[in-house]
Structure 1
Amino acid sequence: MRHLLQQVYRKINLHSIIHIRTMSRKIAVCQMTSVADKIKNLEVVTNLIRDAAKENVQMIFFPEACDFICDNRKDIVRSAEPILTGNTVKAYKELAIQNNVWLSMGGLHEKDDKNPDKIFNTHIIINNKGEIVETYRKLHLFDVEIPEKNVRLKESDFCTAGSHIVAPVETPVGNVGLAICYDMRFPELSTALTIMRAQVLTFPSAFTYATGLAHWHILLRARAIENQCYVVAAAQVGHHNPKRRSYGHALCVDPWGEVLADCGESAPCYKVAEITERLTEVRRNMPVMQHRRPSIYSLYTLSVRNKPLSEHCERPAPDCPAEVVSDAGPTHVFGHVTIPDSCVFYKSELTYAFVNLRCVTPGHVLVAPRRAARRNRDLTDDEAEDFYRAVRIVQNLMERVHGAESCTVTIQDGPDAGQTVQHLHCHIMPRKKGDFIQNDLIYLELAKHDQFSARHPAKPPRELADMKAEAAMLRATLQKMQDEQTKNQI
């Protein structure tokens, strides 16, 4: 029996090893010494991509300022290029196609057309088809001034900070959470990305030598351990000019904090590492995320986007949100929005309910007073009674239609609560177990839904035909429910 058990265990272990190898994904983390000459830097990037691609890596990570490093503000701003039309990014796209790899190009100097004296520090992800999949503008700018040591490094002198966390990007090596260099010192950013299902956190960097010597390995291993994620940090190294020296040691760290690759102080160079099922193993054996106490403390991220900015898209979004749905026939005024009567499925004397242009969950509908009352407090007693009666009726309807036993029922009462339409309304969203990795993330999705614009992309608007069909179905179902209720009362 003992011998039989040993054979079984061997088979199980062999199966696990085969599974892990099958699921393994190879990345290359790169290190270089950028200078002010963009052509020379591009030659380095080209050679690194071509060499790494020969090792069958699926994604290659480059450091912050892989396009160039100048020693003065004037040249930095002058040398910056637009992401969409710049020659540097165009070359990166071609390299991705030629070598059939995904690229993480961290911290490019992006020209700011609206402010000629500033740039953005922008991290872009390019897929193996040469398409920009996602962009992230650095949130935390490195500003340090120590007069007694004659130290002054102020990124804000020439750079504008970003305004969004970017939802993790689905790539061949896992869901990648985007950050840049100094961002690693703000653990809440990494944790927010992990809550949003990041598996790999990436910090392309040009870390100063002094701070790198003190903190580089510690910070990156900490981010990996506390979030149970792989961490990939491509790095600049060495002397770029007489004023600037970078630390190097581009790293890949696994979710247990083990350093899988370290480029030391060599340049240009790269190291290959594998992303395996180690992440699943670590998270299963120590379920930290399950042990979080969101009822006591929480981390809500409201300024998030999940698509590139319109100025980074080949087909930019329209300048204005497509909120007005045209349809022949009567309409209802809902704040600054026009609602076709064909999209309304419930009416009473003082209240109505209608289907949604963009839904956070299937069956996400709205209830509003007919009169354009802005706030809950603005309702008359009769309106309030009718409004909340309608909310109960509509909630029962939506749970029946969608086979749900729960609903998120929420009012964003005032601008500081997230209200963007100046007309009181209640969101009713049918809920099912597991529809969000963490239950309260529905409020993040609702925030993105309400902040839709060309600069804050969200889900695209639905087709009018689909909305009309849903409203017609809901009207019929509601009538059936009311008929059943009347029958039961007789």
Structure 2
Amino acid sequence: MASENPMTVAVCQLNCTDDREKNFEVCKNFISKAAFHQAKMVFLPECFDHVGNNKRQSIELSEPLDGPLMKKYQQLALEKSIWLSLGGFHEKQGQKDEKVYNSHIIIDDGGNIRAVYRKIHLFDIDIPGGIRLKESDFSIPGHQILPPVKTPVGNIGLGICYDLRFPEFSLSLTKAGADILTYPSAFTVTTGMAHWEVLLRSRAIETQSYVIAAAQTGKHNPKRSSYGHAMVVDPWGVVIACCSSGPGMALAEINLNYVNKVRAEMPIWLHRRDELYGSILSAKDSFDSPNSVMFGQIELLPEQLFHRTRFSVAFVNKKPVVPGHVLVTPVRCVERFADLSPTEVADLFSCVQVAQKIVEEEYSTRSSTISIQDGPDAGQTIPHVHVHILPRRPGDFEENDDIYRELEAHDKSKDVKWRSNEEMAEEADRLRKKVKTVHKF
């Protein structure tokens, strides 16, 4: 979709208050001005909808995605034939919600919502005798890094404000194909003066991507002020557009040929030593998890799964050796344990750890046998790495190690009585209900 020719973008700087109508009119004027200058996309900052005077007001003013404010922006994008990056929307989930998502929304030039990223890093500071600012008091953390969004100006990776401080986040998006990273923000004056430009330029240099950061500026109410300095940084780390003090808009050209040139002449992506310090997960890999999973040649249905991590799933057993005997397998079909990547190994055993806690709590046990039958000579009957978790009770076998002999033979007899899908679904449902109580890390 993106053109190889330079494309104009507009980055905006706002001073929003609790007056939502006024905020919208200011944004509307900037969008109209950007369209007049033939910009293909406009970037608005975090809290473009409103900055409340307190937590209660911020939540009371919030709306769902299908509310009237978002419809006005969708209509505006359609009328002006322009893409919008709405950098931080107070997204309400229900009428009685006490917290909201901080959501970054992309609207295309047809007025369609193309992507919704919900902020995953929440800014929480509680210094004894000093500052207390906890975003988690009123915001729900997101749980997903979105893959980059294809737009006329390039593939855009979506972040919000505090996400800027996590280089792994930007590397994940770039590894998934981002040409541009966005950090719409409402940085505090203190942190902005110290770190804002340094962080934006660092993210651009280390990922060799454009960085676009719309910003809030000035005093919003007696308790809150923002640093401003909305800017665009190129892949070499040069600031190519910046807003001065006060509300405003700056234009910049995005040139994807320049992205390719910088990456070719400084090929850092070819020089990474992942075997020494690990590999950053791609945002696309972490997003593209299917609803059902293949276990060898067997399709695991969603109702049979009870826990999922980025690269692994835990599911109930068709022929358990003991009550609560479950399995954990990588999503990628790999026959031998040694064929897993270091990232997949770490993820697999993170999933095993949670699954073990779940089954031990559900079946009131305090011990488990955890086993891998790695290869056919070790008893593996399905050529896909999997871990057995068997909750144990005192005296459940005459000799403790008899469990391994039973595990070897439990599914190989001609007279095996397999559990029904209904039985498996019922157990998986019970285990799923335990996830929130045990998954605290």
Give 1:78's aligned residue.
Answer: 60
1:110 aligns with 2:91: yes
Question: Aligned partners of 2:293 and 2:127: how far apart in 1?
Answer: 50
Deviation, 1:152, is 2.0
1:62 aligns with 2:36: no
Task: Identify the match of residue 215 of structure 2 among 207, 232, 235.
Answer: 235
Aligned length: 329
1:144-293, aligned counterparts within 5 Å? 144-149=125-130, 151-267=131-247, 269-276=248-255, 277-293=257-273
Question: Aligned partners of 1:49 and 1:67: how far apart in 2?
Answer: 14
Deviation, 1:384, is 5.8
Deviation, 1:130, is 0.9
1:393-432, aligned counterparts within 5 Å? 411-413=385-387
Distance 1:196 1:380, change over 3 A: closer
SS of equivalent to 2:276: coil
1:131 aligns with 2:131: no
Give 2:5's aligned residue.
Answer: 23
Counterpart amino acid of residue 106 in structure 1: G
Question: Aligned partners of 1:177 and 1:43: how far apart in 2?
Answer: 27
Give 1:122's aligned residue.
Answer: 103
Question: Aligned partners of 2:144 and 2:12: how far apart in 1?
Answer: 26
1:117-165 Cα distance to aligned partner (Å, 9 max, x none):
111100011111111111111111111233434x221111111111111
Contact kept in structure 1, 2:291 and 2:302, CA below 8 Å: no
Counterpart amino acid of residue 219 in structure 1: L
1:43 aligns with 2:25: yes
Task: Identify the match of residue 95 of structure 1 among 71, 76, 81.
Answer: 76
Distance 1:175 1:115, change over 3 A: farther
1:415-441 Cα distance to aligned partner (Å, 9 max, x none):
9xxxxxxxxxxxxxxxxxxxxxxxxxx
Contact kept in structure 2, 1:183 and 1:203, CA below 8 Å: yes
Counterpart amino acid of residue 270 in structure 1: M
Aligned residues with identical type, % of pairs: 43
Contact kept in structure 2, 1:173 and 1:275, CA below 8 Å: yes
SS of equivalent to 2:236: coil
SS of equivalent to 2:202: helix
Contact kept in structure 2, 1:50 and 1:99, CA below 8 Å: yes
Instruction: Give ranges in structure 2 of 5+ residues lacking alignment.
Output: 305-330, 337-368, 390-441
Deviation, 1:227, is 0.7
Contact kept in structure 2, 1:323 and 1:337, CA below 8 Å: no
Deviation, 1:179, is 0.5
Deviation, 1:306, is 5.0
Counterpart amino acid of residue 136 in structure 2: S
Question: Aligned partners of 1:381 and 1:291: how far apart in 2?
Answer: 34
Question: Aligned partners of 2:57 and 2:31: how far apart in 1?
Answer: 27
- Using the size of structure 1 for normalisation, the TM-score is 0.61
Distance 1:334 1:266, change over 3 A: closer
Question: Aligned partners of 1:411 and 1:121: how far apart in 2?
Answer: 39
Question: Aligned partners of 1:100 and 1:294: how far apart in 2?
Answer: 43
Counterpart amino acid of residue 63 in structure 2: E
Distance 1:288 1:378, change over 3 A: closer
Question: Aligned partners of 1:323 and 1:98: how far apart in 2?
Answer: 43
Distance 1:294 1:37, change over 3 A: same
Contact kept in structure 1, 2:186 and 2:217, CA below 8 Å: yes
Contact kept in structure 2, 1:192 and 1:299, CA below 8 Å: no
Question: Aligned partners of 2:216 and 2:16: how far apart in 1?
Answer: 7
Distance 1:104 1:382, change over 3 A: closer
SS of equivalent to 1:175: strand
Deviation, 1:382, is 7.8
Give 2:399's aligned residue.
Answer: none
